[in-house]
Amino acid sequence: MDKPAKDLDPAAVNHLLNLLAKLQTAAEQRRKTGALNQGAADAVVVTTSQDTAVQIERAVQFAREIDRPFVRRAQKSLPQLCAEQAAAGVVVVGTDRVTLQPAEGTKAFFHPNMARHRAEILAKNGEDVMLTAMGFTPGQQVLDCTFGLGSDALIASLHAGETGLVVGLEKSLLLSVLLRWGLREYPWLRLSRVGDSLAKASRRIKLYNLDHREVLEHLPDRSFDVVYFDPMFPRSVRCSNGIELVRSWGCQETLDKTVLQQAARVARHRVVVKVRKDSPELTKLGFDRLILGARRIGYGILEAR
């Protein structure tokens, strides 16, 4: 039976957020000294071909946040810029959207993806398989250790409500900044029926550019109701620009029992891992049980110890 939510202790929440802020500051200092590699090493930041003053200001700010150079567009094509800068890709900062364009491949940008559809179903009949797997009730706290494109965190935040807490961790500096800008700037109100609720949910998410392994080691016992993982599958469940974005620019690491043991220590309720139904991880990681989702997706559950 799912555990009822308890009122959040403001002092405990502040302690958690202060701890995460300290870890974030320490990570930024290590990155500046070259002791920490968080991706984006081969990217440069440019504007669109319009090259307006507003775009230049935004691009300079984005470049500063990912610690990469801003290059004046000067009407050059993106392939030309990639070749001249020996870059694996460019970050194109427009007036209201940021796009990642690899030297080879399809461009990608922040989009709520399936979160909109899931939010509509949740509003209609209160159902979402991930939330069922979490045993998650409004007012609880979730730690999303593999933020990725943020869709799962959006649904968790939507369900948690004003009294809950959703914290996301994304190791890739580039993806974390892209997602932070996207969550803040996406035109949510253009989405019919669920736009306003998703806008509020996006503002409640606390996103940190941190490695979940380090964070789990530092968190006190029973810090979050649910600890969640959506690791990159060896084979994509379905091909999409979003998945390719994470594959190309994210920091991919495998999930092992050591991490899950730490997660089970941090969780008050349970650890939930999104997996493929045919994945060998189901037996290797030692889940207590599996909840089946749509298509080839399942959720491995490890109860808190």
Cβ neighbours, 10 Å, residue 63: 20
> pLDDT tens track of the chain, all 305 residues?
455 455 678 888 999 999 999 999 999 998 888 755 555 557 899 999 988 999 999 999 999 999 899 999 988 999 999 999 988 889 999 999 999 888 887 788 899 989 999 999 999 999 999 999 999 899 999 999 999 889 999 999 999 999 999 999 999 898 899 999 999 999 999 999 999 999 999 999 999 999 999 999 999 999 999 999 998 755 444 445 555 555 555 566 678 899 999 999 999 999 999 988 777 777 788 898 999 887 788 999 999 97
Q: What is the pLDDT of residue 238?
A: 46
Q: What is the pLDDT of residues 72-129, one digit of tens each?
A: 998 899 999 999 998 888 999 999 999 988 888 778 889 998 999 999 999 999 999 9
Instruction: Write down all domains in the chain, each with its CATH number in brackets.
Output: 43-109 (3.40.50.10480), 112-303 (3.40.50.150)
